[in-house]
Structure 1
Amino acid sequence: MSASRVLLGVVTSVALLGACGGENGEGTGPIAPALDQELTALLEAEGVKPVEKPAAQDPGLVELGQLLFFEKELSGRRNIACSTCHHPMLGSADGQSQSRGQGATGLGPQRVHGDKSLFLARNTLSIWNRGVKGWDTMFWDGRLGGNPTDGYISPAGDATPQDFSNALAAFFIIPITPDEEMRGFPGELDVKGNANEMADLTNDDFAKIWPLVVARAMAVPFYKDALLAAFPGKTEADINVVHLAEATAAFMTDAFTALDTPFDRYLAGNHGALSDAQKRGALLFYGRANCGSCHSGALQTDFGFHNIAAPQVGTGKGDEAPLDYGRGRITLKEEDRFKFRTPSLRNIELEGPWMHNGAYANLEDTVRHHLDPEAYLKAYDDKQVEPELWGTYQSSEETRKLLLGSLDPLLKVEGARLTDAEVSDLMAFLSALTDPATLNQLYLIPDSLPSGLSLDD
């Protein structure tokens, strides 16, 4: 047992001695100081420290990136933008279990399939705090990542540009490439009735697709002038996909950094920022419930990959569909099958459905699955995903054995299972990870686009 777990047991007796707080136990009696003493000691033992905020972004670059983020001119059929899957009003994601990509219309849960559209196999990750220093891994399977010191890796291999300022900027080069995401399928005209010059390329033609996307932007006078102004000394011929990526990343960093939560205020020394229930939940999270073993630190992620026996529901991915091997698809190692990157839990309330495939429509069910994967896997009902995906849950005993056979050993509760009251406290703590300033980001949506294309999806 770790030193922090021993510490937890010792100080818990102190907390119980002071458990004579006011009505509902919310910090009006001796319990609050005891909770604070216990929690601050545990956080220190677990190395949970305030998160360093990213440097302020250049306002001009942010303004340019904001427009590019919503700009459909960058997609092959001029019908989809970064914001389609990472919308400010949908928790910087899209509110779907699995994203509907190219060919679908509408936004979020109201997005519907067209003739050729399909699901993209995985749930859209949010982009909260991706500009924070040290956030070097992107996507559920970690197929893209890096930093200026160590370099960058991506599915593009040797063609991956190496002059990004961070992994968030590098992230831009991937969604614009696949036919099922932003590039579009062969034979389909764009929304203006024109041919799509990107459509006949393949998903592996990264180095050919990126210049075509840049050419789209540079053909719009506003973007050409803004890009040249944002990168002094560069000529029209110099502007490449990295410059579009840097501008978009500046906007995403500025817009989606969410580090003024009650928990952040508590870490900064304001012990009144958390309710007693939230403090008890934090003690469970970093203590007996063992959540902090993977959701570690102040961002609640170790940036690693773990098999939590998430229900295999939905389309699946690659040759192993309807299963999804996750990290194993990248490393090709059997021991990495069914592992997915630990998501940060910042603003976790805002970005459901949850799990790598959006298997759970309810956050508490997601938490309870972590606490008892075997029971929740066996009882899983796929009626909580999109109707088109009903009946796709791989419920065979063989599949369950595969998932549970390599279940991460860190996924366990120390001692007795959590009571309903303790789960309630755990949920209260998760609510303390929501930044109130992000609850309404309607102001981020521009009034119009330089291309003249519609903002509506």
Structure 2
Amino acid sequence: MHRRVAGHPALFALTLTCLMPTAACGDTAEDVDAQLATLVAAYDVAPLPAKPAYDAELVELGRLLFFDPVLSGNRDISCATCHHTRLGTGDELSVSVGTGGHGLGADRVLGAGRTLVPRNAPEIYNRGYALWTTMFWDMRVAHRADGTFATPAGAQLPSGLSHVLEMQAMFPVTSRDEMRGGVDDVDVDGQPNELGQVDDSDLTTMWDLLIQRVLSFDEYADRFARAFPDVAPAKLGFQHAAKAIAAFEADAFTFTDAPFDRWLRGDRGAMSAQAKRGAVIFYGKGDCASCHGGTLMTDQRAHSLCAPQIGPGKGDAAPWDVGREAITADPQDRFAFRTPPLRNVDHTAPYMHDGAYTTLEAAVRHHLDPIAALEGYDTSALRGDVAETFQHSADLMQQMLATLPEQLRTPMHLSDAEVSDLVVFLGALTDPASLRLGQLRPVAVPSGLPVD
């Protein structure tokens, strides 16, 4: 949930009428439905469209690659380790544990000499739609208004990629902390990690080495030939693997039948009375839709919310994480992170860019009064190794508070009952099918490596 960052004049009068308890805005179920219909129409909210269609061979190739540790330098971590089908397509950690780690989910621990990944592993639901124009918390992959793409690869990005999800899949394998590993690492077989020895700026060589490694397995060579019949084997690149992974993610993790979706399609009985009250707060008094509006429930923009800083920090700013500013070099973007989407949000904890909040209610309450939430932040709900990374120097706190938009400086009052209603509505954004993903995990992968 975000509060108003940019005003929405069309809702000004309607929002004013809802500054009293929700029941006073409409005592009957029909009144609440009518009020909610007016609110969502003002924010251009529509049911999620049908799932994009992908070739079955491409999807199956992507599924195997997604679960195969062969894509990591040390052959010890896969995409699924941090985006697991049993864990809401995340990892249940505030900030992730990358290569060298042991275990899965909340039980995963750092390997000796390793560093936590700087940010929370986001859920990956519904990412295949053309509506998506940005990826990553700092939006470093973006589809610009002029039709071009911005990525960390610049001119090294190979041709043939057409969607930001495909481009996103190119980069975790290049991150030392996430999947690539270090210069002196050896893999699970005791062999030198050739990916770790590549200079950090040479993305092309990393991707070339990876596709060579993958195609060395006969089953993968055969599956790539079937998924890309018009591409000669010598012309296959890691971009083809990324396209397959993106196709799998879009096919497997798109869900369009949450109670709220059914309500949007006209089934007025799909949501409970409490969820509807919460929806009226979300689109009205709570002003959450200023940032979480539209069909995707995100404006895909970066905002500063004074989220507590935990984790090792990122890049040159470490132990701080300055967010979008590290990409744009614009001080206006300091500590700003992209608005996350909210589909299936009730089982994708922890929340915020660094997983600072372990419950949905705590994340909601932060938005009501970011200043008080930051100044009174309690690390007791965090895992010990994460809690000790909390950054709260006077200088940092001062700089963070200076970036908070004026509209968020005045606390918003919601009663406990209203917060409860709002959290129940957020639960109505979950498609029950998103909780049943165990069948996606393959028993084995072509590399023969263990599957998380």
Cα displacement string for residues 73-132 of structure 1 (whole angstroms, at most 9, x for unaligned residues): 121111111111111111111111111111111111111111122101111111111101
What is the match of residue 173 of structure 2? Answer: 176
2:325 corresponds to 1:328: yes
Could you tell me the TM-score, scaled by structure 2's length? Answer: 0.94
Partner of 1:28: none
Task: Tell me the secondary structure at the aligned position of residue 306 of structure 1.
Answer: strand
* 3-state SS of paired residue (2:142): strand
Within 1, Cα distance between the matches of 2:396 and 2:329?
19
2:206 paired residue among 187, 206, 209? 209
Identify which range, 85-94 or 195-204, moves more after superposition: 195-204
Equivalent residue runs for 1:6-405 within 5 Å: 6-10=13-17, 16=24, 19=27, 31-146=28-143, 150-405=147-402
Letter in 2 for 1:254: D
- 385-394 or 326-335, larger mean C-alpha shift: 385-394
Is the 1:288–1:413 contact (alpha carbons within 8 Å) kept by the matching residues of 2? no
SS of residue paired to 1:51: coil
For 1:211 and 1:315, the matched residues in 2 are separated by 30
Cα deviation per residue 1:383-411 (whole Å; 9 max; x = unaligned)?
22221122332334433232222213454
> Does the aligned pair in 1 maintain the 2:91–2:106 contact within 8 Å?
yes
Q: Does 1:4 align with 2:11?
A: yes
Q: Partner letter of residue 444 of structure 1?
A: L
Structure 2 Cα separation of the partners of residues 73 and 43 of structure 1: 45
Question: Shift of residue 319 of structure 1?
Answer: 2.3
Structure 1 counterpart of 2:238, one-letter code: V
Is contact 1:105-1:114 (8 Å) kept? yes
Aligned to 1:360, the other structure's residue is in SS state: coil
Kindly state the Cα deviation for residue 297 of structure 1 after the two structures are TM-superposed: 1.3
User: 2:5: which partner in 1?
Assistant: none
C-alpha contact (below 8 Å) 2:14/2:284 kept by paired residues: no
- SS of 2:130's partner is coil
Q: Residue by residue, what CA displacement relative to the aligned partner does 1:392-438 show, whole Å, maximum 9, x if unpaired? A: 32334433232222213454789x61111110110011001111001
Distance 2:404 2:296 in 1: 23
Aligned position for 1:23: none
Tell me if the contact between 2:291 and 2:299 (Cα under 8 Å) persists in the aligned partners: yes
The aligned counterpart of 1:427 is 423
Tell me, yes or no, if the aligned pair for 1:147 and 1:165 is still in contact at 8 Å. no
- Say which is worse superposed, 244-253 or 49-58, in terms of deviation: 49-58
CA 437–78 in structure 1, closer or farther in 2 if over 3 Å, else same: same
- TM score, norm. by length of structure 1: 0.93
Unaligned residue ranges in structure 2 (runs of 5+): 1-7
Render the CA deviation track for 1:262-291: whole Å, top value 9, x for unaligned: 111111111111111111111111111111
Partners in 2 of 1:192 and 1:306 — Cα distance? 44
In 2, the alpha carbon distance for the partners of 1:351 and 1:288 equals 25
Structure 1: distance between partners of 2:10 and 2:153 = 44
- SS class of match (1:271): coil
Q: Does 1:417 align with 2:413?
A: yes
**Structure 1 vs Structure 2 CA RMSD:** 2.0
SS at match of 1:340: strand
Residue 247 of structure 2 aligns to a residue whose secondary structure is helix
Q: Identity over the aligned pairs, expressed in percent?
A: 44
Per-residue Cα deviation, 1:149-181 (whole angstroms, up to 9, x for no partner)? 723221111111242131111111101112222
Which residue matches 2:451? 455
Q: What is the SS of the residue equivalent to 1:273?
A: coil
Contact 1:152-1:162 within 8 A present in 2 as well: no
Larger RCO: Structure 1 or Structure 2 (Cα < 8 Å, ≥ 6 residues apart)?
A: 2
Return closer, same or farther for 1:311/1:12 CA change in 2, 3 Å cut-off: closer
Return closer, same or farther for 1:410/1:218 CA change in 2, 3 Å cut-off.
farther
Hey, what's the Cα distance between the residues in 1 that align with 2:409 and 2:256?
Answer: 29
Q: Distance in 2 between matches of 1:196 and 1:311?
A: 35
For residue 234 of structure 2, give the secondary structure of its aligned residue in structure 1.
Answer: coil
Q: Measure the CA separation in 2 of the matches of 1:447 and 1:410.
A: 51
Equivalent position SS for 1:89: coil
Contact 2:47/2:256 (<8 A) preserved = no
SS of residue matched to 1:145: strand
Distance in structure 2 (CA, Å) of the matches to 1:265 and 1:412: 36
Contact 2:128 2:254 in 1 (8 A): yes
Select between 153-162 and 83-92 the one with higher mean Cα deviation.
153-162
- Matched-pair contact (CA < 8 Å) for 1:5–1:288: no
Q: Structure 1 unaligned segments of length 5 or more: list them.
A: 20-30
Give the conservation status (yes or no) of the 8 Å contact 1:189–1:195.
Answer: yes
Q: By how many angstroms is 1:191 displaced?
A: 1.2
Distance 1:196 1:3 in 2: 57
Rounded to whole Å, the distance in 2 between the matches of 1:269 and 1:200 is 57
Query: CA contact under 8 A between 1:52 and 1:133: conserved in structure 2?
Result: no
Give the Cα–Cα distance (whole angstroms) in 2 for the partners of residues 417 and 15 of structure 1: 17
Q: How many residues align?
A: 444
